[in-house]
Amino acid sequence: MAAISFESKLPLDAKDWQLLELLQKDARTGYAELARQVGLSAPAAAERVKRLEDAGVIRGYRAEVDPQKLGYAIEAVIRLRCDGNVCSSIGPALAEIPEILDYRRLAGEDSGSLRVIALSVSHLETVLDRIVRFHPSISTTTLVVLQTSYTHRPLSRAMWLEGAAAVRA
């Protein structure tokens, strides 16, 4: 198992963090505007963003779509419990179910956590049936999301510095 480290594999300075924070707020911000806000030239800002992309710090850009606006009235978190190596190898099979937005393998009482969307309760039931069909050892607990206060919380330099200080203490 890899050691937990608070050191970045890519040394980031304050300008890099400013760029990351701005791009997390609005990934469509152009290089000229990014440069203006952080006090760099547009080519320097573009070069830094490219370096962050190449290092995998910036994993991609995407449009955030509201599932409710498309008719998905239900969002649920499904806790999985599996025997043996089922949960360690089930990821690709679960990826075939489009209503599953993400899957996390866990350590602890639960073996995995899924975030799913459904058009209705009967649609959610169909998704659950598809999940448990993969293996007889899978059991689930479904939690229906009533409200989401925030998602995709941006990462900040201040947060990183506070966490690094706590690790060192």
Mean pLDDT, the chain, whole residue set: 91
In the predicted model, is pLDDT for residue 26 greater than 90? yes
Among the residue ranges 1-5, 28-32, 39-43, 71-75, the one predicted with the least confidence is 1-5
Look at residue 66 and give its three-state secondary structure. Answer: coil
In a domain, 19, yes or no: yes
Q: What is the CATH number of the domain that holds 39?
A: 1.10.10.10
Q: What is the CATH number of the domain that holds 86?
A: 3.30.70.920
What is the span of the domain harbouring residue 46?
A: 14-62
Structural domains in the chain (count) = 2
Q: What gap in Å lies between CA 145 and CA 53, rounded to an integer?
A: 33
Task: Label residue 83 by pLDDT band (50, 70, 90).
Answer: confident
* pLDDT value for 85: 80
Helix ranges (H only) for the chain are 14-25, 31-38, 42-54, 86-89, 91-94, 121-132, 157-168
In the predicted model, is pLDDT for residue 2 greater than 80? no
pLDDT in tens, 123-164: 999 999 999 998 888 999 999 999 999 888 899 999 999 998
Q: What gap in Å lies between CA 100 and CA 113, rounded to an integer?
A: 10
**Phi and psi at residue 141, in whole multiples of 5°?**
-130, 125
Q: Higher confidence at residue 14 or residue 1?
A: 14
In the predicted model, is pLDDT for residue 3 greater than 50? no
Same domain flag for 33 and 49: yes
In the predicted model, is pLDDT for residue 8 greater than 80? no
Six token digits for residue 147: 């409200």
Same domain flag for 30 and 45: yes
